[in-house]
Amino acid sequence: MELPFAESWKIKMVEPIRKSTREEREQWIKEAHYNVFQLKANQVYIDLLTDSGTGAMSDRQWAGIMMGDESYAGADSFFKLKETIQRLTGFEYVIPTHQGRAAENVLFSYLVHEGDIVPGNSHFDTTKGHIEGRKAIALDCTVDEAKDTQLEVPFKGNVDPVKLENALKEHGDRIPFIIVTITNNTAGGQPVSMENLRQVRAVADKYGKPVVFDSARFAENAYFIKTREEGYADKTIKEITREMFALADGMTMSAKKDGLVNMGGFIATRKQEWYEGAKGYCVQFEGYLTYGGMNGRDMNALAIGLDENTEFDNLDTRIRQVQLLARLLDEYGIPYQRPAGGHAIFVDAPKVLTHVPKEEFPAQTLTIELYLEAGIRGCEIGYLLADRDPVTRENRFTGLDLLRLAIPRRVYTDNHIAVIAAALKNVYERRAEITRGVRIAWEAPLMRHFTVQLERL
């Protein structure tokens, strides 16, 4: 008999979690203004809010923590991190920051100016925030396939090269760089193919523009290239990673994702000019150049995490767990962004809550229902997150409205996955009774979803 698949690690330390009653949850979510970001973590049984900074570190990473060099300048931990990033990406210059958005802040302070246009594939919310906050425009050039959640294509995160080229033709002089998010978080954790990265490079070269990768989940992207793209089955994740980054001029990184650490980020680039231009902003916003926003111990843990997470077995263990959840939802007939992405399942909320009008935020409504059902905290990646148009101030209802179930790395077991699927099935079975959603009682002018206060209708 062929042996079944099993995790590539065993467990050395555990953390108890607590169930709650429906009455408790009714009270807690009301106190949280129906915004799951406002819940206390101990009011949550299974936390799928995000896979960002929520993973479990390895024994080797914890050992690295003990060996951290906390010197203000020239710390050994910095050089370890820099050497690892250089080896994995081929980028020579490295600036550590406290997380991904800080990397964006430092690099974009140098590169993005009022009136600029930054084309890319479904810019992440903080990326968009750092562009729009500088009175520039984040222009979405994602392939149209990404909008059809039921279409089963392997690289739904791709940039549409025709849209990109049109943008360059039309606004060339206003475009400081092109940004490609790997994997495409906002479109459902969908990967970008190597072929597409090459197409983007070709268009960029034709118009003389640099390319930045927003690289939070670059290792998961490499896993999908290996498992889905012709010609890559026999290459290692590290080889594919090098090949991807060879097509970019620089990267911003949220190390809280594929860096396998709880906090951290960095900028890396081959352009000395960018390094020289951005480094002053690092000192101003983050810290001195050999620690940025990070502790020495955390730079050590990150260096080790980057190496671990560019090994196939680690990625295979993770992504198979996401695919297990997808298989269970298939069994129960629950529609989600197909095929399953790298870090999460994105449930297509308007297809589940067909009676809730878009003005009442179906995905947020489903998020609340799943929490009430079983204490599972998902996250709306939809109309609330999409925010308002910066010019017209109208809600943006044009994109997808998804409930994201993000799976933390190396944290939950397959039994937890079964609970999640069963809870969602229970909500799905009573979907006809859910006819009203929520309305906004208060919202912030930018990135409102973190703090928005809602009322149930």
Ligand X SMILES: *Cc1c(COP(=O)(O)O)cnc(C)c1O
Q: Which residues are catalytic?
A: 72, 124-125, 214, 216, 257, 449
Subset of residues 269 to 308 that bind ligand X, contact rule: CB under 6 A: none
Query: Tokens 């204490």 map to which residue?
Result: 375
Say whether residue 126 binds ligand X (CB under 6 A).
Answer: yes
Whether the CB-CB separation of 191 and 215 falls below 8 Å is answered with no
The binding track of 179-198 with respect to ligand X, each residue x by CB under 6 A or -, is --x---x-------------
From 216, 420, 421, 438, residue interacting with ligand X (rule: CB under 6 A)? 216
Query: Tokens 């179906």 map to which residue?
Result: 362
Say whether residue 101 binds ligand X (CB under 6 A).
Answer: yes
The binding track of 18-57 with respect to ligand X, each residue x by CB under 6 A or -, is ----------------------------------x-----
State in angstroms the smallest separation of the CB of 182 from ligand X. Answer: 8
From 214, 229, 249, 369, residue interacting with ligand X (rule: CB under 6 A)? 214
Query: Which two three-digit tokens encode residue 46?
Result: 């299974």
Strands (E), 76-125: 93-97, 117-120
Strands (E), 171-263: 178-181, 211-214, 250-254
Say whether residue 409 binds ligand X (CB under 6 A).
Answer: no
Strands (E), 173-300: 178-181, 211-214, 250-254, 265-269
State in angstroms the smallest separation of the CB of 249 from ligand X. Answer: 17
> Which of helix, strand or coil describes residue 186?
coil
Query: Tokens 């590169």 map to which residue?
Result: 111
Whether the CB-CB separation of 121 and 158 falls below 8 Å is answered with yes
Give the residue closest to ligand X by C-beta: 100
From 96, 100, 176, 191, residue interacting with ligand X (rule: CB under 6 A)? 100
Nearer to ligand X, 54 or 126 (CB): 126
Cα 56 from Cα 338, distance rounded (Å): 27
- Strand 137-140 relative to strand 117-120: parallel, antiparallel, unpaired? parallel
Query: 80: closest CA among 276, 244, 266, 274?
Result: 266
Query: Which two three-digit tokens encode residue 366?
Result: 């489903």
Question: What's phi and psi for 395, nearest 5 deg?
Answer: -60, 145
Nearer to ligand X, 255 or 421 (CB): 255
Query: Which two three-digit tokens encode residue 280?
Result: 């002053």
Nearer to ligand X, 368 or 447 (CB): 447
- Per CB under 6 A, the segment of 61-69, 253-261, 356-364, 432-440 that binds ligand X is 253-261
- Per CB under 6 A, the segment of 26-34, 203-211, 251-259, 376-384 that binds ligand X is 251-259
Say whether residue 254 binds ligand X (CB under 6 A).
Answer: yes
State in angstroms the smallest separation of the CB of 214 from ligand X. Answer: 5
Say whether residue 97 binds ligand X (CB under 6 A).
Answer: no
Whether the CB-CB separation of 274 and 107 falls below 8 Å is answered with yes
Residues near ligand X (CB under 6 A) are 52, 99-101, 124, 126-127, 181, 185, 214, 216, 254, 256-257, 265
